[in-house]
Amino acid sequence: MPDKKSRHLRSQEWFDNVDDPGMTALYLERYLNFGLTRAELQSGKPIIGIAQTGSDLSPCNRHHLELAKRVRDGITAAGGLCFEFPVHPIQETGKRPTASLDRNLAYLGLVEVLYGYPLDGVVLTTGCDKTTPACLMAAATVNLPAIVLSGGPMLNGWFQGQRTGSGTIVWKARELLAAGEIDIDGYTDLIASSAPSVGHCNTMGTASTMNSLAEALGMSLPGCAAIPAPYRERGQMAYETGRRIVAMVHEDLKPSDILTRKAFENAIRVNSAIGGSTNAPIHLNAIARHIGVSLDNDDWERLGYAVPLLVNLQPAGKYLGEEYHRAGGVPAVVHELMGQGLIHEDALTVNGRGIGDNCRDRPVQDRDVILPFDAPMLPNAGFLNLKGNLFHSAIMKTSVIADGFRSRYLSNPDDPDAFEGRAIVFDGPEDYHLRIEDPALNVDETCILVIRGAGPIGYPGAAEVVNMQPPAALIKRGITGLPCLGDGRQSGTSGSPSILNASPEAAAMGGLALLRTGDRIRIDLRKREANVLIPDDELAARRAEIAGDGGYPYPEDQTPWQAIQRSMVSQLDAGMVLGPAVGFQRVAQT
Ligand code: FES
Ligand code: MG
């Protein structure tokens, strides 16, 4: 560990630069104007940024406005100075056309702040879905000492004695509304019951997934991810996180020391065990690309598919965030996986210890909530990576296939892992909503619902729309789910076994662009294949026809950022990153 006094801090180039005293004076001048003293700024104390993702526009992360006070206390107690600054808001439920359009924008903004200002380290305040990957991607690019403080899930939601979980209750409420069992007031009351306090989604949706994976990657202190937002431990964790980042700066412990291939492999296994969101491969592949670790959806299947589901949280299970925390959270899940040799125990974490050392003495506290590895909720909780003439990569979470679905589609004794269906093709979510009830489509239980034009280019940012509800007439007959396939994403709070994140998307002239309603699609889970049953020459003819018409059409740009991102974004399997940004790993090291 370098000597505290001797290590040259990056911030000293601004505030205490003996080679350029004139410039130093100019930098100092304005940062003194709100009461900081020259002695403080020239004391050699690490200057720590708090990357503030909370605001009135970002209710999932708004609690960080309070938590930052405790972070600040911790930074000060450890001998640091604190500069809090805003991160571009990303609110999953508020941003049109989709919050994921803004992940890369927040990333870019944060990179500029971390690189361009006098910061020696940063506390990343995370929570709502894309805030966590945006922050980690930026930390990976700039490679300054960085630590994640998640805001924590909301308290459990309740309605008439039942737990109501974020997002998950929406799918249920929609079914009840479509079936005429509740009206719109009942619908609103039911879904509002799932949000009883500050915090992010209390289910194992994308927020709890990504914060759990940030911890599994080693980027937050042990136990951080699961603490509910209003609990006292959350404020205490904020204080300890502030203390720790100061030490990390002294130790020069950087993201590139932590975000290694081993760390990503650990996170993939934890993702299966927690029943993590199908958004996780997109975001982890993106973080990996920005830190320079190779990772793809084949890795996700190879490392993660066979890991069982251990965590009994909605949408796959019963409980919510409070129980997850009391059962031991991420350290208990890691502990359980360590027992099977599935964790690289030497992977370094932000506290300077290996994840194995952090989790060895953290066994599961409640076996109803985190089940034993040898008696899990479900086997094979990871993702399959399907390929074929419709796409190079699309993932499927087979563990959420319900019994009714399985008996309808996967019960042929001669071919138990395959099914065929008639494609009903929609061009984007608006088209789906417009036409799904159209009797002329003749949708029945032998159909596969396909949505395209929903990927990173087609619906800029990629919409969470693949899990499409069948027409009301089918729901009334008890068929609440049809096989769904698409080039968009799916909410982590949905339990539907869709084939999603198809790459390349239709708007990039992937095979989905060639599909027509009425085509037959064959899915073979054993062979990891999804194909439209059409001869290659006919597909080539269709491709030529669409290309001749100028390619697969998609809506025009509504904002400058949509145009910029569309011009350079990679596909979902490659993390939906900005191509030119991938080459900039570790800029702060130079
Ligand atoms: Fe923000 Fe779920 S909507 S965390
Ligand atoms: Mg979501």
Task: State the SS3 of 135-195.
Answer: HHHHHHHHCCCEEEEECCECCCEEECCEEECCCHHHHHHHHHHHCCCCCHHHHHHHHHCCC
Q: Is 92 in the pocket of ligand 1 (CB under 6 A)?
A: yes
Euclidean distance between CA atoms 220 and 223, whole angstroms: 8
| The CA-based dihedral angle spanning residues 507, 302, 300, 578, taken in that order and rounded to the nearest 10 degrees | -60
- 504: which 2 tokens? 């390349």
* Rounded distance from Cα 413 to ligand 2 centre (Å): 37
Q: Which residues contact 364 (CB under 8 A, 6 or more apart)?
A: 327, 328, 332, 335, 336, 370, 372
Longest CA span, the chain:
81
- Nearest-atom index, ligand 1, CA of 61: 1
Q: Is 120 in the pocket of ligand 1 (CB under 6 A)?
A: no
Euclidean distance between CA atoms 136 and 146, whole angstroms: 9
Nearest ligand to the CA atom of 93: 1
On the 0-12 / 13-18 / 19+ scale of CB atoms within 10 A, 345 is: middle
Q: Is 464 in the pocket of ligand 1 (CB under 6 A)?
A: no
Crossing angle (nearest 10°) for helices 168-178 and 184-192: 170
Ligand 1 binding pocket mutation candidate from 57, 58, 92 (most atoms within 8 A of CB): 92
- Nearest-atom index, ligand 1, CA of 493: 2
* Rounded distance from Cα 60 to ligand 1 centre (Å): 6
From atom 1 of ligand 1, which residue's Cα is the shortest distance away? Answer: 128
Question: Which residues have a beta carbon within 5 Å of ligand 2, which is an ion?
Answer: 92, 129, 206, 491
How far is residue 442 CA from its own chain's centroid? 36
- Nearest-atom index, ligand 1, CA of 200: 4
- 448: which 2 tokens? 């596969």
* Rounded distance from Cα 92 to ligand 2 centre (Å): 6
Q: Is 385 in the pocket of ligand 1 (CB under 6 A)?
A: no
CB 320 within 8 A of CB 163: yes
Q: Is 207 in the pocket of ligand 1 (CB under 6 A)?
A: yes
Q: pLDDT tens, position by position, for the chain (590 residues)?
A: 444 445 789 999 999 999 999 999 999 999 999 999 999 999 999 999 999 999 999 999 999 999 999 999 999 999 999 999 999 999 999 999 999 999 999 999 999 999 999 999 999 999 999 999 999 999 999 999 999 999 999 999 999 899 999 998 998 898 899 889 999 999 999 999 999 999 999 999 999 999 999 999 999 999 999 999 999 999 999 999 999 999 999 999 999 999 999 999 999 999 999 999 999 999 999 999 999 999 999 999 999 999 999 999 998 899 999 999 999 999 999 999 999 999 999 999 999 999 999 999 999 999 999 999 999 999 999 999 999 999 999 999 887 777 777 888 888 888 888 999 999 999 999 999 999 999 999 999 999 999 999 999 999 999 999 999 999 999 899 888 899 999 999 876 665 678 999 999 999 999 999 999 999 999 999 999 999 999 999 999 999 999 999 999 999 999 999 999 999 999 999 999 999 999 886 544 43
How far is residue 204 CA from its own chain's centroid? 11
Angle made by CA atoms 209, 200, 342, in degrees to the nearest 5: 20
* Rounded distance from Cα 259 to ligand 1 centre (Å): 25
* Rounded distance from Cα 153 to ligand 2 centre (Å): 14
Euclidean distance between CA atoms 167 and 205, whole angstroms: 8
Q: Which contacts qualify for 542-551: CB closer than 8 Å, 24 or more apart?
A: 542/514, 542/516, 543/509, 543/513, 543/514, 546/509, 546/513, 546/514, 547/509, 551/507, 551/509, 551/513
Q: What is the pLDDT of residue 3?
A: 44
Which amino acid is located at 410 in the chain?
L
Q: Is 205 in the pocket of ligand 1 (CB under 6 A)?
A: yes
Q: Is 327 in the pocket of ligand 1 (CB under 6 A)?
A: no
* Rounded distance from Cα 129 to ligand 2 centre (Å): 6
Report which DSSP code applies to 571.
P
Q: What is the pLDDT of residue 175?
A: 85
- 302: which 2 tokens? 């190879």
The order of strands in the sheet holding 383-386 is 383-386, 393-397, 499-503, 484-486, 447-452, 418-427, 520-524, 529-532
Q: How many helices (H) and strands (E) does the chain have?
A: 22, 14
* Rounded distance from Cα 397 to ligand 1 centre (Å): 21
Q: Is 128 in the pocket of ligand 1 (CB under 6 A)?
A: yes
**Reported ipTM:** 0.92
Q: What is the pLDDT of residue 323?
A: 98
Closest among 371, 212, 219, 258 to 307, alpha carbons compared: 371
Ligand 1 binding pocket mutation candidate from 53, 98, 126, 129 (most atoms within 8 A of CB): 129
* Rounded distance from Cα 483 to ligand 1 centre (Å): 26
Q: Is 200 in the pocket of ligand 1 (CB under 6 A)?
A: yes
* Number of residues that make up the chain: 590
